[in-house]
Structure 1
Amino acid sequence: MTTPDIRVEKGHAEPEEVAALTAILLARAAGKAAAVPSVGFGRDKAGWRRLERTPGFRAPHSWQG
């Protein structure tokens, strides 16, 4: 017997409910793959900060941690 790909962590789900959830997840995954543009080479701006441009001190209560 193989292990299932989807497992109910809390409560009890009927096989029909698990099948419906699987269909929704697969449809969303297929929709996102089709929505990704095929043109482009990445972001316009870097996803990281340059340390030399940040101030030397951040307050302990700062959200930028």
Structure 2
Amino acid sequence: MAPFLQVVRGDPTPEELAAVVTVLTARARAATPPPAPRPRSAWADPTRRLRRTLPHGPGAWRASSLPH
């Protein structure tokens, strides 16, 4: 595997090399877009726990058990 960085001139200290690697890593991460959020499953939707209002008026008892 080829080296990612290669020092061509000079004799950098380990701290200088670490600074260069940090800057290059930060720039590479800033250039890549964040991953798209996954869609929320209907099973995990908290609105499913809310109860619908029951119908009122004549025949309401029959309409209360019919699917919407």
TM-score, with normalisation over the residues of structure 1?
A: 0.43
Higher RCO, Cα 8 Å, sep 6+: 1
Q: Which has the higher helix share?
A: 2
